[in-house]
Amino acid sequence: MKNQLTAHQLSVLRMVADGRTHSQIATALYVTPKGATATVNRVLAKLGAANAPHAVFLACQAGILDGRPRRHGDHAGYEAHRKRGEDPKQCEPCRLGERAHKQAMKKRSERNREAA
């Protein structure tokens, strides 16, 4: 791979790997469908891929995408749902994990105030 993908291009590649259409990608990124298509085409060119499935395959081979299941049940899983445009509250493990994360952050903040 000649050029490294930008963070934006990597997020688009992940959406492609999730099976999103260009319209869905555009909605998630607040861009026009043509803008999403242009970004997907830049990703394909950078990876030397003929099409979107080929790009995902090449990205997995290169270690750009790891193919592991998404995290659930913690703050990172909750945030991943949000970034994909999903309602994280619909995922019970992630909702409970986010609640535990917020409680832990509150306790940490209280300890820091006491120590100061």
Q: Where are the domains of the chain?
A: 7-62, 75-115
* pLDDT score for 60: 82
CA separation for the pair 16, 30 (Å, rounded):
16
* pLDDT score for 38: 96
Residue 108 has pLDDT above 90, yes or no: no
Burial of 24 per CB tally in 10 Å (0-12, 13-18, 19+):
middle
Residue 2 has pLDDT above 50, yes or no: no
Instruction: Note whether 40 and 31 are within 8 A (CB).
Output: no
Q: Which CATH architecture has domain 7-62?
A: Orthogonal Bundle (1.10)
* Beta carbons within 10 angstroms of residue 91's beta carbon: 19
